[in-house]
Amino acid sequence: MIMQVEMAAGGIREAVVVAASEIMVKGGYRPRLERMLVKNIAAALRGRGVSVYRKQARIIVEAKRPGELEELAERVSRVPGVRWARVGYIMPRDYELLMRIAEDTVREHRYTRIAVEASRSDKSFHKTSLEISREIGERLMNSLGVEVDLRSPETVLWVGVLNDAFLFAWRRIDGVGGLPVGSSGRVIALLSGGIDSPVAAWMMMKRGCLVDMLHIYAQPTPQDVLTEKMGELYRRLREISPASRLFLATYHNFLSYSAEAKPRLELALFRRFMFRLADALARETGAKAIVAGDSLGQVASQTIESIHAASHGLSLPVLLPLVGFDKEEIIRLSQKLGLFEISIRDYKDCCSIVSRHPLPRPKPGDVEAEWMRLGMDDVLAKTLQEVYVFNGERLEYWKNISIGRRRIRQE
């Protein structure tokens, strides 16, 4: 790599160059969304001693310590709203210096087949993008003997022309795309101990939602939950959405009231309990929708009739981002996100405790009648009085939701 002294003398600084995804087509909302993405990238890199800022059509992440660009770019690429992250430099707008940087980079990495791309944010620059690409390619062929290969290059050298600087990069990492977390409002996602629900929460983060999560636990205390895989899943998702919270509600009230439930309706009652609990919490926290990890027809509890029976009568819409996925698609995405190995660990999940032979097509009227017969509204009210919330740093006990509501608004 170029010697640090030479870089400093030439005003060359190591940087990750970031391009936004759908933000680019959002018209008048674009500046707001770009600011939000900058904030989210800075949060994802908190503690790394980096500088994150907008510069014309790009977001720049400047590293303070040498040798960490690759890791920073990988982390940035996982932030929703990022189209791609490139590893390289920001430098003065000196064309000959740009040529030398390109030569040094190719020589250091020992590339033999390269391609060159250029993009001009400043259209007044005296050379076109095509001319820049061609001239850099010719220089490298003549000075280093490399081959310009547009079909299968070992790397694509990229140049960005800004009003007062050049950007140069030699490696591109594709981002996850989507919208910045927080741009689409707040939702609350049901988080179980399985594979699907963490992926569903991530999918809504990718669509710009700030996702709070609700988990109903069978462990003796909420502290026990945080020491097991649910705490780790939440922390992994929180890397993408640092403002997300984990709500923890006890299962014991439902268990005591449902002892006399009709066995084949027990799971339908529990799912109705989960959705109504989420609905009540959502109204208090300002969430506008409930998210679940259902994949249509995957199991008996995920038929259209079961979904209808569970969500019937709610005040908020239920979003099912995985509804059209099959199990293999969900597993592949979970593996890609680094969630799968955590999700498959042994865990006492409430859904595994209730009836193993549920009615696959329960009728909403039958579920409602059983709900009223067992006094499940009381279960809901009691459970709401025992909700805990974890924000990644501290666990708090809510004796009543109204107190929690004021705390949330102050954050």
The answer to whether 50 and 18 have CB atoms below 8 angstroms apart is no
pTM of the full structure: 0.86
| SS3 call for 140 | helix
* Residue that has been written with the tokens 């996100």 in this structure: 337
Domain ranges of the chain: 4-177, 186-410
pLDDT tens column, 278-298: 999 998 889 999 999 988 876
Measured on CA atoms in the order 329, 317, 359, 350, is the torsion positive or negative? positive
Q: Find the mean pLDDT for residues 234-256.
A: 92
At 399 the pLDDT is 54
At 404 the pLDDT is 46
The percentage of the chain sitting over the pLDDT mark of 70, rounded to a whole number, equals: 89
The residue ranking higher by pLDDT, 352 or 93, is 93
At 361 the pLDDT is 85
**Which DSSP category does 349 fall into?**
B
Q: Is a pLDDT exceeding 90 seen at residue 312?
A: no
Helix H, strand E, coil C: the string for 159-227 is EEECCCCEEEEEEEEEEEECECCCCCCEEEEECCCCCHHHHHHHHHHHECCEEEEEEEECCCCHHHHHH
Alpha carbon dihedral 362, 365, 368, 372, in 10-degree steps, equals -130
Q: Residue 410: which pLDDT band, with cuts at 50, 70 and 90?
A: very low
At 267 the pLDDT is 86
Q: Find the mean pLDDT for residues 356-372.
A: 84
Comparing 243-257, 270-284, 356-370, the range with the smallest average pLDDT is 356-370
Residue type, 107: R
pLDDT tens column, 99-142: 999 999 999 999 999 999 999 998 999 999 999 999 999 999 99
Comparing CA positions, the residue from 218, 216, 314 lying closest to residue 272 is 314
At 406 the pLDDT is 44
Q: Which fold has domain 4-177?
A: VC0802-like (3.30.2130)
At 1 the pLDDT is 47
At 51 the pLDDT is 93
The residue ranking higher by pLDDT, 57 or 2, is 57
In a 10 Å sphere around its CB, with 0-12 CB exposed, 13-18 middle and 19+ buried, how is residue 260 labelled?
exposed
Mean pLDDT estimate for the chain = 88
101's tokens? 């940087």
> Is 186-410 in the same CATH topology as 4-177?
no
- Superfamily of domain 186-410 in CATH is HUPs (3.40.50.620)
At 24 the pLDDT is 62
pLDDT tens column, 150-202: 999 999 999 999 999 999 999 999 999 999 999 999 999 999 888 999 999 99
C-alpha dist (Å) from residue 400 to 9, 97, 146, 367, 386 = 61, 64, 69, 28, 8
Rounded to 5 degrees, φ, ψ at 14 are -65, 140
At 409 the pLDDT is 41
Comparing CA positions, the residue from 55, 91, 56, 59 lying closest to residue 72 is 59
Comparing CA positions, the residue from 303, 282, 302, 284 lying closest to residue 293 is 302
Question: What's the rounded Cα separation, in Å, for the pair 197 and 368?
Answer: 25
Q: Is a pLDDT exceeding 90 seen at residue 49?
A: no
Question: What's the rounded Cα separation, in Å, for the pair 6 and 218?
Answer: 61
Question: What's the rounded Cα separation, in Å, for the pair 169 and 84?
Answer: 12
Q: Residue 411: which pLDDT band, with cuts at 50, 70 and 90?
A: very low
